[in-house]
Structure 1
Amino acid sequence: MKTKIPPPILALVMIGLIYLSSLFVEQITFNYQGSLSVLFIILGAACALPSFKLFAKFKTTITPLKPSDATALVTEGMYRYSRNPMYLGLLLWTIASTIWFGTWFGIIINIVFIFLINFLQIIPEEEALLEIFGEEYEEYKKNVRRWI
């Protein structure tokens, strides 16, 4: 299976759908809604952004459409806790958007995002990494969860 849609593009589409749903569905508002949304943005950035530095440190590809170009298995930093901290960061940003726009429909969109990112990106990546790194990646999969 090949990857087809860059995950950041998929996340932006989902955020756009969350925004559009807020125009047509009654919005939910609560105290500290904006602050909670910003907290999720910060948490998402804390998960995703350090990964770029790690990939540069290990001189491996960050291109999500070509996981077969990986030259190193990154297991440091957030990768000790999640096999996909970049995608976890994107999910936290889509959750932040759901909170910001106050739409319950965003919950459904976030579930769709998880489903799509798993089947369109993560599973093909895992297949490529298993082919490249073999037993080392199999052992990593046993010890570190896909998301959190």
Structure 2
Amino acid sequence: MAAGLRETARAITDGQGYFLVLLILSIVSHFIFPVRILLQAPVTWSGFLIIGAGIWMAFRCRVLFLQNRTTLSPYESPAVLITTGPFRISRNPVYLAMAAVLFGSAVVMGTLVPFVFTFLFIVIVEMLFIPFEERRLEEIFGDEYRDYKRRVRQWV
């Protein structure tokens, strides 16, 4: 993706905006294009556990940001490098939480089309947000962030 287009797409919204749009499109597409049923009850019910885990992880991350008095926005400079809680297992637990909610929703619906939106979200985040955020964290926190990056995987 060209740098100018990447900047424009990032400026329009943050990862949360893309998440909400894709979640809505996922649900709407399930009803408009109910093609290829992949999962049926009771398997689809497991999607509620996945959604719950995603919501819990997002909530836990938010609490850590607030406790450490650092920004939640990917466009502002963080005051603290958080490496505890969900950040011990993933450098991007907020995006992981959003992907879990999208995936859990797709499981609940059980049709093929909603799963595409989970994949699309991951691609968008990988291309538009994570590289930008990681460069910024490396500039701000230097060796501390590089060491953290070596110890903790990007997603899980």
User: Unpaired runs of 5+ in structure 1?
Assistant: none
Which residue of the partner structure matches residue 108 of structure 1?
116
Identity across the alignment (%): 32
In the alignment, the residues of structure 2 paired with residue 139 and residue 74 of structure 1 have an alpha-carbon distance, to the nearest angstrom, of: 13
Match of 1:130 among 127, 138, 151: 138
Find the residue that maps to 1:26 and give its secondary structure: coil
Secondary structure in 2 matching 1:70: coil
TM-score (norm 2): 0.85
Which residue of structure 2 aligns with residue 26 of structure 1? 35
Report the CA distance between 1:27 and its aligned residue.
Answer: 5.2
CA deviation map 1:94-141 (0-9, x unaligned): 011212222212222211110101111111110110110011101100
Q: Corresponding residue for 2:56?
A: 46
Between the aligned partners of 1:46 and 1:141, the Cα distance in structure 2 is 24
Does the Cα contact within 8 Å between 2:26 and 2:117 map onto a contact in 1? yes
Q: Which amino acid aligns with 2:53?
A: L
- RMSD of aligned alpha carbons: 1.7
Tell me the residue number matched to 1:63.
Answer: 73
Q: Which amino acid aligns with 1:92?
A: A
What residue is the counterpart of 2:14 in the other structure?
6
Query: Contact conserved, 2:33 with 2:113, CA < 8 A, in 1?
Result: no
Q: Tell me how far apart the structure 2 counterparts of residues 35 and 19 of structure 1 sit (CA, whole Å).
A: 16
Residue 11 of structure 1 aligns to a residue whose secondary structure is: helix
Counterpart CA distance in 1 for 2:59 and 2:42 is 25
User: Which is further off, 21-30 or 115-124?
Assistant: 21-30
Note if contact 2:138-2:146 (Cα within 8 Å) is conserved in structure 1: yes
Secondary structure class of the residue paired with 1:41: helix
Question: How many residues are treated as equivalent by the alignment?
Answer: 146
Q: Does 1:117 align with 2:125?
A: yes
Superimposed CA distance per residue, residues 29-58 of structure 1 (whole angstroms, 9 cap, x where no aligned partner): 512245212101111022211111111121
Q: Is contact 2:44-2:109 (8 Å) kept?
A: no
